[in-house]
Amino acid sequence: MRTGNDVDVAEKAEGIIRIALAEDLGVDGDVTTTAVCPPGARARAVIVSREPCVIAGQLVAAKVFALAGAEVSYDTVVEDGGRASGGDTIARLQGSLAGILAGERTALNFLCHLSGIATLTGRLVDVVGRGGVTVMDTRKTTPGLRALEKYAVRLGGGTNHRRGLFDGVIIKDNHIAAVGGLEAAVRLARNSLSCRFPIEVEAATLARVREAVDAGADIIMLDNMDPPAVREAVEIIAGRAKVEVSGGVGPNNLASYAQLGMDAISMGFITHSAPAADLSLEVYVEETG
């Protein structure tokens, strides 16, 4: 569910919301509505879920209509993080017909995309169940939408990995090559950053896993390992570091991986390949002026 830290997500995303509206409205605005609909027409509308889903993006959708250039009230029926069934009304709108139509597609684009991410995340969390394995996202996000997509992951019950290169350490092959070895990379990171961040090392082989353990890594990310290799890696690590699995894990094999003893599984497809939720906006004209 939404937390206190999330209530300003729409404010933080105002720049990308304005870009999305400008992309849709251009210089001339909604020429179809201007040509066809009576000036001053007012309407009410509902946003309806066509399938079961976890709702995400209500704060963003409300911000879209607030910025669309005409007064439109947006009343949330299903809060962010809530579950909707097929046919449920998730929001009600009232105000200028032109304003509702101007914001419709942009608001739905955000709502459908973010609700799709939250819904997929929720399904994956359900698959893992109560086994103590954390479902995490990655940095494989849509440019400009990372904060919103990671917000949707949280609403689905998942956990955010690092938000960017600035708030977490993951030592990868290129870092190791740059300094001539894994032990040196871990030592340099720890000396430079002290205790600000845990030191995570990406390992694609069992030999690299052993190196990471010997170097004192706090977290070892098992990269694209099949289940037998993951099982062996967990045995090698033997509780001396936390274990994250990343790569090669999907909805069809998540349950089998989750039983292998890791602490977390990170999956990029949660954000880059989640199918959009099926939501629609239905308008009812009230009066003309």
Residues with Cβ within 8 Å of residue 190, at least 6 apart in sequence: 199, 216
Please say if 140 is a catalytic residue.
yes
Residue 6 per-residue DSSP state: G
Please say if 223 is a catalytic residue.
yes
Indicate the helix (H) or strand (E) that contains 245.
strand 242-246
List the catalytic residue out of 30, 104, 211, 223: 223
Which residue type, as a one-letter code, is found at position 122?
Answer: G
- Cβ–Cβ < 8 Å for 218, 171: no
Please say if 172 is a catalytic residue.
yes
List the catalytic residue out of 172, 210, 231, 242: 172
Backbone dihedral region for residue 217 (phi beyond 0: left; psi -120 to 50: alpha; all else: beta): beta
List the catalytic residue out of 44, 83, 105, 123: 105
List the catalytic residue out of 18, 92, 139, 140: 140
Please say if 242 is a catalytic residue.
no
* CA dihedral for 4, 266, 17, 279, sign (positive or negative): negative
List the catalytic residue out of 149, 202, 211, 244: 202
What is the secondary structure of 252-289 as a DSSP string?
Answer: TTHHHHHTS--SEEE-THHHHSPPPP-EEEEEEEEE--
Residues recognised as catalytic = 105, 140, 172, 202, 223
